[in-house]
Amino acid sequence: MTTTHLLRTLPALACALVLACSGAGSDEGPAPGDAPAAPGPTSGAPSASAGPSDPPAQDAGTIGDAAPSASRARCGAAPYVWSTSTTLGDVLESSSKASHTPLELNYAILEAKKQNAFKTRRYAKHGTNSRLVRYQTQDRGKLVDATTLIAYPDVSSPSSFPILLVLHGTAGFNDACSPSAGVADDALGGFTDGTSILLSLFASLGYVAVAPDYIGLKSLGAPTGFLHPYLVAEPTAIASLDAVRAAKKSLAGSKITPGDVVVMGGSQGGHAAAFVNRFAPHYAPELVIKGSVWDVPPTDLLGQAKPALASWVNATKNMIALATTFETWYGASPNGLSSAFLAPWDTQIPATLATTCSPSGDMLAGATRETLFTPAFLAAGQQPAFGGLAPWACYLAENSLPTTSIPKLDDVPSLFLLGENDELVNNVVERASFEKLCAQGHVLSYLECSGASHTKPLSYAFDQWLDFLEARLAGTPLSGTCVLRAPEKCTSTP
């Protein structure tokens, strides 16, 4: 590895630290705007949001159920049950990727600090190895495959390390957008991709770092064949939990024994982290999750929809994307996307998302809210619980943590991390969501970094969120929970 080669990668490292630098660019995540819509019920599926064919809310069960009989489908989608195949999490394909020495990683940290990417008191302790794995998971009851990058300490004697599940922000909507696609092998020195450096950095600190690409974003194997279900909680949570299983199986027989799990995700990944907690007792009860960090998470999509549809802002584009992928995944709207989008957008938008990772402004050239969205969809966006407009109100409610019908069985202590100047995720909505979630029994600590935009809290609070996870792994009780605090200068702010 040459010094020049390493220095060229530092912007990528800074970008990867926020888990939200991607093809979606600055449009990632809902944006600020008006106050949230009136909250719906605090448990179960909100009746105002449910479509007429919705099944009653039921426990999703566990993947180990001997004879699952109740459909897992919601919002009028076609019935299905989860597969209980013993192959879930199996490694289907694996390739070695870059290894790093502590010296290399410490030099990268020092140079990133010099360039004001972030500050940290931590330094690499271990050399690292990494591998890219294609593994078995499922989607709507059918076996599918996905990919994950795994980085782990390079040790000379048998050792156990906790798993850090790292959940990325918006990357795109098809396989070509896979975050792991650009990860280099040893021949290139491994310093050509920010994701690889970030995972190796975590591994050097003493974690088995697991970074799933999510369903529909894989970098190995045959094409997925459908759009990545963006911000749909179930498939992303399931793929992430199966990635942890795959990491355990991949490292079986090695000197590394993966231990308990902690979770960290930013933006779309913050939403994913929250729902990994929710789905884990139902889907992967054998996994012990000790703590999680939800960075700038759009936990309340119902609330975020109001400012996203009230005027044309960056969040409007995210509403367009999630409406497209929600309908692609649920398939419950009698008129398909034409009940949300006017022609030609109802066919043009999904076609574009299927073929590009960075939809440009040209995709929506000439569009306004009034010429793109149907009047009913725009009107629903300004009403509480999305006006009960089926099936869209149900789609949003099911994928909002305060209103999802998936029963809360977890009690994972979690850090709710926001940025004071977030231009994408509406902080008014998320502060209210924090309080609703606390009222529902979530064990949450709150941190808001002063001066931080959407992409900065993970780097500005780098030491703080790692301290939080380390304390949970050590069994330290969490104090000061469910207190909404004023923004503060986070300790890693450059």
Q: Residue 344's pLDDT is what?
A: 96
Does residue 267 have a pLDDT over 80? yes
pLDDT in tens, 144-174: 999 999 999 999 999 999 999 999 999 999 9
Q: Residue 185's pLDDT is what?
A: 66
pTM: 0.89
In 3D, which of 300, 242, 337 has the Cα closest to residue 425?
Answer: 300
Q: Residue 438's pLDDT is what?
A: 98
Q: DSSP 3-state assignment of 305?
A: helix
Q: Residue 158's pLDDT is what?
A: 97
Contact 304, 424 (CB under 8 A): no
pLDDT in tens, 18-53: 564 543 333 343 332 333 333 333 333 333 333 323
With a CB cutoff of 8 Å and minimum separation 6, the contacts of 74 are: 45, 54, 55, 330, 394, 398, 405
Q: Which two tokens stand for residue 473?
A: 């792994």
Q: Residue 137's pLDDT is what?
A: 98
pLDDT in tens, 110-135: 988 888 888 999 999 999 999 999 99
Banded pLDDT at 9 (limits 50, 70, 90): very low
Q: Residue 17's pLDDT is what?
A: 58
Domains and their CATH numbers in the chain? 1-494 (3.40.50.1820)
Contact 128, 152 (CB under 8 A): yes
The owner of tokens 């050399």 is 127
Q: Residue 482's pLDDT is what?
A: 98
- Residues 463-471, mean pLDDT to the nearest whole number: 98
What would the DSSP string read from start to end of 233-297?
HHHHHHHHHHHHHHHHHHTTTSSEEEEEEEEEEETHHHHHHHHHHHHHHHH-TT--EEEEEEES-
DSSP state of 35: P
- Residues 55-63, mean pLDDT to the nearest whole number: 34
**CA distances (Å), origin 246, targets 133, 148, 205, 241, 427:** 8, 9, 21, 9, 35
